[in-house]
Amino acid sequence: MNAFLPKDNYRYFLADLFPMFFKPQALQPRFKPDKIIALRPELLIHSGSKREAYIHPQDPNLCIKVDRLWRRGYRISPRKRLKRLLMPWLIDFWSNREEARVYRSVALKIGEEFFEHAPRCYGIVMTNLGPGLVVERVSDEDGSFSQPIDVYVKNNPGKLKHALDLLEDLYDFLIKHDLVIYDWANPSNFLVRKNSIRGDKIVVVDWKTEGTADKDLPWRDIFPALARKKMTFEYNCLRENIARLASMD
């Protein structure tokens, strides 16, 4: 997990607070492997607010997630750094570190069932854009890459009930294992993986929000019932949005 943090993290914090005394320096990784993977702009497949995902240049069935902060420089606002220092329950600046925690703890605890709803993780690599997390690109039985649930419903309006049943199956899985996902507003986070033998499943491609509240006061961490209530509300909102998509066609 700490492989995704830069060296001497507090140095950057002090440079933000007192730039007149501390000279800003480029982020330095904690490890230096023999090989560095070059990620070119044409390999970019998704750009989020905190991370970018690239096709693995050596295997198109894998992708590499890289925190944007490595590419965009060292600076984070002093206010955010101070809040993160004093409130360690807040979402980490380093999304790969958060997701690596899920694979290191949750995935090992649940076992193979976890990968019915999550991409497999293949470790850490060093890229020209910083350390990256290697995960599978979710694909269907025929080898094509799985579609987000909203795209799936738009392309298959007659399978709305099936899509909602798959979403319910994911929700039941989360409840069964006391897991909480906070990011239900983005349908592209939920892919429909089609498989006639094992059965279709919803695969969540971003697990960094599992169990991590982005609030100044961690009420949802202190009171798990609140976290589950919030997740249930957002889950139902996604169901309604997906159903609305089908009715528009």
Q: Using 50, 70 and 90 to split pLDDT, how confident is the model at 194?
A: very high
CB 8 within 8 A of CB 22: no
Q: Using 50, 70 and 90 to split pLDDT, how confident is the model at 63?
A: very high
Q: What's the whole-model pTM score?
A: 0.87
Q: Which pLDDT score is estimated for 147?
A: 96
Mean pLDDT of 211-219: 56
Q: Average pLDDT over the chain, rounded to whole?
A: 87
CB 13 within 8 A of CB 77: no
CA–CA gap between residue 38 and residue 21 (Å, rounded): 35
Q: Which pLDDT score is estimated for 61?
A: 97
Q: Which pLDDT score is estimated for 91?
A: 65
Bridge partners of 191, per DSSP, are: 148, 203
CA–CA gap between residue 196 and residue 149 (Å, rounded): 17
- Let me know if 240 is exposed, middle or buried by CB neighbors in 10 A (0-12, 13-18, 19+): exposed
Phi and psi at residue 167, to the nearest 5°: -65, -40
Q: Which pLDDT score is estimated for 60?
A: 96
